[in-house]
Amino acid sequence: MLSKLDITTQLLKIGLTKSEVKEKLERIAEYSDDLITGDDALYVLSKQMGIDFLNPNNELFAQDCIKIEDISQDNSYASFYGRVAYYIPPKEFDRSEDGAKGHYSVIWLYDSTNEIKVLLWDDKASYTAKKAFKINKLVKILNGKVKFNNDNIPEIHIGHMGDIDFLPTDVNSIEFPKKPIKSQIVNIGDLNTQTYSLSVQGTIMLKQEVYNFEQGALQKINLKDNTGKVDIIFWNDDRYELNKSDEGDVVFIKDLYLKQNQRTSKLELHSKNTTVVKVILKDPRSDAEKFTPINFAANKEQLINIQGIIIEKQPLRTIQRPSREDTYLFKLRLSDKTGTIIVNFWDKLAQEYEELNVGDIISLYKVSSRFNDYSEEFEITFKYFSRLKKEEDI
């Protein structure tokens, strides 16, 4: 195979300038969301320009296979065998640079030494939709790009330069025994980015409404056990598993996979088509007990429900923000038998609820409290997922 210097020399010989080579390499990196950079981008460019960087023996794909546990920082690429532990079917995303559609899917492979996450990009993503792709199937990864995530755990990326052999003939399958794929029960505080099938148990602290979008629907809950809290996202028809559960219920949720949110960097759990939700204990509180008295609403860590009568409302205000668009604020004061508290509605919610009047009796669900240093008192914030209901009486 030609060296990096040889390829660069060949590109210059066919008429490209150094600045043109640099520009084309940057364009390849940008188009691939920085998945193809450095030497990878140079090889892709050479292929685009008609330069044969492979020798007749196809050296690129002829490298020796290694064990999963031996994949390290020393490997730019790796070829290895593994059985499928779990996989996520192809998903679509919008590329950040031009909005074009891209595709990816994820599989977890294991051998006798370890397990590893493999990401398939664009045309390779469709592999997981094939009928031949099944749990415990033995496959061969050819020239997978080795990358390390934020936790310094290796991952394999399969794009233009790699591939998967679904019927490897150069391996003894006995050396790769199948193992039963079980869903591991873990504490929320012990979640890690390498778990592909797990179960959790805890109390539903928040159950949001179903969110519909062009490609489908999702519903999110927040689950808490004695070690921590985590958001769990149920996709499309998986969300029907939540129909028999409510906030305050203790539930057992089987067969989820773990993912890091790219925007917030927080770990989330996501449903699969095999996910099951079982209610262990229904919320024992009566409807009346589910409302927090106003004098106890201060300094609550979890979301709460409160109920009362509006005794004061302020006009809708426009709040100017130097580096962002102006927003709106609507305030009212709510009272029950135990005390009073300010309730804040922001932005579109302020415009939606400014028609509330003094004397209205309302119930507020899934709101939070915080201390306002300016007013020197605790106040309630009505969130985008909160709910308001008008009542006849308390």
Tens of pLDDT, residues 234-256? 998 889 999 888 888 889 998 88
Q: Which residues contact 386 (CB under 8 A, 6 or more apart)?
A: 364, 365, 366, 367
Q: Which residues contact 333 (CB under 8 A, 6 or more apart)?
A: 310, 311, 312, 313, 340, 341, 342, 343
The average pLDDT across 206-212 equals 85
Tokens of 157: 């990326």
What pLDDT, on the 0 to 100 scale, is given for residue 53? 56
What pLDDT, on the 0 to 100 scale, is given for residue 62? 44
What pLDDT, on the 0 to 100 scale, is given for residue 156? 93
Strands 163-165 and 138-148: antiparallel
Domains of the chain: 4-53 (no CATH), 60-175 (2.40.50.140), 184-281 (2.40.50.140), 288-391 (2.40.50.140)
Q: Over 50: is that where the pLDDT of 308 sits?
A: yes
What pLDDT, on the 0 to 100 scale, is given for residue 330? 95
Tens of pLDDT, residues 96-127? 667 778 888 888 899 989 889 899 988 888 88
Q: Which residue has the higher pLDDT, 227 or 193?
A: 227
The average pLDDT across 301-329 equals 87
Q: Over 60: is that where the pLDDT of 48 sits?
A: yes
Q: Which residue has the higher pLDDT, 141 or 13?
A: 141
Q: Over 90: is that where the pLDDT of 298 sits?
A: no
CA nearest 307: which of 297, 298, 315, 299? Answer: 297
- The 3-class secondary structure across 48-101, one letter per residue, is HCCCCCCCCCCHHHCCCECCHHHCCCCCCEEEEEEEEEEEEEEEEEECCCCCCE
Residues of the chain by 3-state class (helix, strand, coil), percent to 5: 20, 45, 40
The average pLDDT across 147-166 equals 83
What pLDDT, on the 0 to 100 scale, is given for residue 57? 42
What is the residue-averaged pLDDT of the chain? 82
Q: Over 90: is that where the pLDDT of 335 sits?
A: yes
- Provide the pLDDT confidence category of residue 211 given band limits of 50, 70 and 90: confident
C-alpha span between 201 and 239 (Å, rounded): 17
Residues in the chain: 394
- Residue 327 to residues 186, 351, 372, Cα–Cα distance (Å): 42, 10, 19
Q: Contact at 8 Å (CB) between 249 and 282?
A: yes
pTM equals: 0.49
